[in-house]
Amino acid sequence: GAGVSQSPSNKVTEKGKDVELRCDPISGHTALYWYRQSLGQGLEFLIYFQGNSAPDKSGLPSDRFSAERTGGSVSTLTIQRTQQEDSAVYLCASSSFLTGTIEAFFGQGTRLTVV
Amino acid sequence: AQSVAQPEDQVNVAEGNPLTVKCTYSVSGNPYLFWYVQYPNRGLQFLLKYITGDNLVKGSYGFEAEFNKSQTSFHLKKPSALVSDSALYFCAVRDTNAGKSTFGDGTTLTVKP
């Protein structure tokens, strides 16, 4: 696609429920990143994919968080048993080392609110 | 390990004056350096990057940044600020051997008419 697409744009969920956040990167971009941005805070790295592999998942806050990428394209971030502290904007970005486009292109984010 | 520091939470300048947003970094190897801008209720947009070569890099909207290896800095500059430049600015670093970028906490730039 023309840009990085994330869905849903907003998600309100009850504490304890599971949520899935989707990211559709720019076509042909091999690298995909998930970051989290809490209100008034900077970007917190969660996980990085190169193709379908995740060489760096060091930022996942707990085992309630998981992510996968299939076909070298779409990625899903899953949060199980959501807690109020999970409330944040979840940002996805992609880039392509192969074409020298090392800068990240970000989606508009998913605003997650846990009530 | 890699890290970024943006020492100023807030920068205020008058329209037409030059602006500087500071960034220092730490990497174990050689750095790729980036600036991104975030306008209210919008995603992050790429402004400019340093890979190698000329220490002064030019980017979008008249912004530029100077890479200083000895001071490990990559300050963002613009000769004449516009009110529309008001936004949240993030500096980011990536070790050339790493896959992920590490972002600073951001600096809110306010340009007053």
CA distances from B105 to A39, A87, B14, B75, B86 (A): 11, 18, 23, 15, 17
Arithmetic mean of pLDDT, A10-35: 96
Indicate if the pLDDT at residue B42 is higher than 90: no
Indicate if the pLDDT at residue A1 is higher than 60: no
Q: Do A56 and B100 touch (CB under 8 A)?
A: yes
Report chain A's terminal Cα–Cα distance, integer Å.
33
Indicate if the pLDDT at residue A24 is higher than 80: yes
> Is residue B52 within 8 Å of residue B35, measured between CB atoms?
no
Q: Do B43 and A91 touch (CB under 8 A)?
A: yes
Residues in CB range of A92: below 8 A, 6 or more apart: A4, A6, A21, A23, A25, A32, A33, A34, A35, A75, A77, A106, A107, A109
Whether residue A90 lies within 8 A of chain B, CB to CB, comes out as no
pLDDT tens digits, one per residue of A38-52: 876 789 999 999 999
Q: Which residue has the tokens 């190169």?
A: A50
pLDDT tens digits, one per residue of A59-104: 999 999 999 999 889 999 999 999 999 999 999 999 987 666 789 9
**What is the average pLDDT value for chain A, to the nearest integer?**
93
pLDDT at residue B13 in the model: 98
Nearest-Cα distance to chain A for B113, in Å, is 25
Arithmetic mean of pLDDT, B60-87: 96
Share of chain B above pLDDT 90, in %: 84
Q: Do B104 and A109 touch (CB under 8 A)?
A: no
- How much of chain B is in helix, strand and coil states, percent to nearest 5? 5, 55, 40
Nearest-Cα distance to chain A for B42, in Å, is 6
Q: For A34, which residue in chain B has the nearest alpha carbon? A: B100
Quote the CA–CA distance of B3 and B26 in Å, as a whole number: 5
Whether residue A39 lies within 8 A of chain B, CB to CB, comes out as no
Neighbours of A33 (CB within 10 A): 26
Name the residue among B100, B29, B71 with its Cα closest to residue A93.
Answer: B100
